[in-house]
């Protein structure tokens, strides 16, 4: 006998919130899970649970205990640990999994990108004379760049940090955007930036800096997405909904 769906969305992204809205509008039973990194998360139209599950075993247990019928991994493309845990726990608990992600950015004509595999590779690539670097990575990863203290770093954080960043030469802007390419171009000119470092997050929310770098002919050190085991993946809310609500069509 078919079970009523109870969907668990692993969130923390605009895509997850959009899917939560779409499911709430359709009165589908679903729960949104957040890591708990944000002090005041936005209000959600679905029940929310907050905090880690306790690894793969904890997530598999949660899936069984809560009677989850479908797992949607809508975490950020760089939340690699959570995504790997989701694949393993879904297999362990025999719950079908789909990932809802943003397509990665790819270089456009005029872009001067160098790809690196991860943050340590980006830090290593900065060996050499002092440059003026826009470090568009978010607070979590800034400390790693203390290993290349010769550069001047332009940092832009959503919230003011509680402690000063451990970079001897830096400028810090606190702003949550959205940013336009025109604004970012001005910012790069004002700070005489000669290199931009970015994670390949994809999507439209953070793309302005790449458009600005292209317009100014600036090189970009692009950190690739972490590799994950193969999984079913879609980029559109409509495709996720179709898979969730028409399982027979897709042979699930
Ligand atoms: P991560 O390194 O992959 O995950 C670390 C641990 O945090 C996971 O093992 C899990 O703990 C817990 N966790 C992560 N996401 C969770 C969720 N949605 N619900 C419950 N527990 C979760 O993740 P991260 O990079 O720190 O990202 C944390 C959150 O911020 C995610 O929700 C992600 O979507 C969002 N985010 C991340 C980035 C980024 O650049 N990494 C950017 C924007 C938003 P247990 O092992 O105990 O289950």
Q: Does residue 2 have a pLDDT over 80?
A: no
Pairwise pLDDT comparison (37 vs 239), residue with the higher score? 239
Residue 174 φ/ψ, nearest 5 degrees? -110, 115
Tens-place pLDDT, residues 87-106: 999 999 999 999 999 999 99
Give me the pLDDT at residue 63, please.
98
Contact 85 CB / ligand 1 (< 6 Å): yes
User: Which CATH superfamily, name and number, covers 6-103+227-245?
Assistant: NAD(P)-binding Rossmann-like Domain (3.40.50.720)
The span from the CA of 86 to the CA of 81, in Å, is 9
- Distance from the alpha carbon of residue 11 to the mean position of ligand 1, in angstroms: 8
The span from the CA of 22 to the CA of 245, in Å, is 12
Contact 77 CB / ligand 1 (< 6 Å): no
Contact 70 CB / ligand 1 (< 6 Å): no
Q: Give the start-to-end residue ranges of the domains of the chain.
A: 6-103+227-245, 112-223
Give me the pLDDT at residue 247, please.
62
Tens-place pLDDT, residues 209-218: 999 999 999 9
Contact 37 CB / ligand 1 (< 6 Å): yes
pTM of structure:
0.89
Contact 102 CB / ligand 1 (< 6 Å): no
* Chosen CATH of 112-223 out of 3.40.50.1980, 3.40.225.10, 3.30.1490.100, 3.30.465.10: 3.40.50.1980
CB burial of 10-49 (b: ≥16 within 10 Å; e: otherwise) equals bbbbebbbebbebbbeeebebbbbbbeeeeebeebebeee
* Average pLDDT rounded to a whole number, residues 129-143: 93
Give me the pLDDT at residue 251, please.
42
CB burial of 122-140 (b: ≥16 within 10 Å; e: otherwise) equals bbeebeeeeebbbbbbbee
Q: How does residue 3 score in pLDDT terms, banded at 50, 70 and 90?
A: low
- Distance from the alpha carbon of residue 171 to the mean position of ligand 1, in angstroms: 28
Tell me, yes or no, if the two domains 6-103+227-245 and 112-223 fold the same way: yes
Q: Does residue 61 have a pLDDT over 90?
A: yes
Tens-place pLDDT, residues 172-209: 999 887 899 999 999 999 999 999 999 999 988 889 99
Q: Does residue 143 have a pLDDT over 80?
A: yes
Q: How does residue 249 score in pLDDT terms, banded at 50, 70 and 90?
A: very low
Helix (H, G, I), strand (E, B) or coil at 10: strand
Percent of the chain with pLDDT over 70: 96
């Amino acid at each position: 006998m078919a079970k009523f769906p109870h969907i668990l969305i692993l969130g923390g992204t605009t895509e997850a919130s959009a899917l939560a809205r779409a499911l709430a509008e359709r009165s589908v039973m679903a729960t949104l899970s957040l890591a708990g990194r944000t002090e005041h998360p936005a209000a959600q139209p679905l029940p929310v649970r907050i905090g880690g599950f306790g690894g793969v075993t904890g997530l598999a247990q949660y899936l069984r205990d809560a009677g989850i019928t479908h797992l949607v991994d809508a975490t950020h493309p760089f939340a690699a640990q959570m995504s790997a845990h989701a694949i393993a726990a879904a297999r362990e608990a025999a719950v079908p999994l789909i990932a809802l992600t943003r397509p990665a950015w790819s270089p456009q004509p005029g872009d001067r990108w160098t790809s690196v595999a991860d943050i340590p590779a980006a830090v290593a690539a900065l060996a050499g004379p002092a440059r003026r670097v826009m470090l568009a990575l978010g607070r979590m990863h800034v400390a790693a760049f203390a290993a290349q203290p010769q550069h001047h770093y332009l940092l832009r954080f959503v919230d003011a940090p509680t402690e000063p960043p451990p970079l001897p030469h830096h400028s810090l802007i606190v702003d949550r955007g959205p940013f336009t390419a025109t604004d970012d171009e001005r910012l790069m000119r004002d700070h005489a930036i000669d290199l931009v470092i970015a994670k390949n997050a994809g999507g439209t929310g953070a793309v302005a800096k790449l458009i600005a770098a292209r317009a100014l002919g600036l090189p970009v050190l692009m950190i690739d997405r972490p590799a994950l085991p193969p999984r079913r993946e879609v980029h559109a809310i409509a495709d996720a909904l179709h898979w969730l609500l028409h399982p027979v069509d897709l042979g699930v």
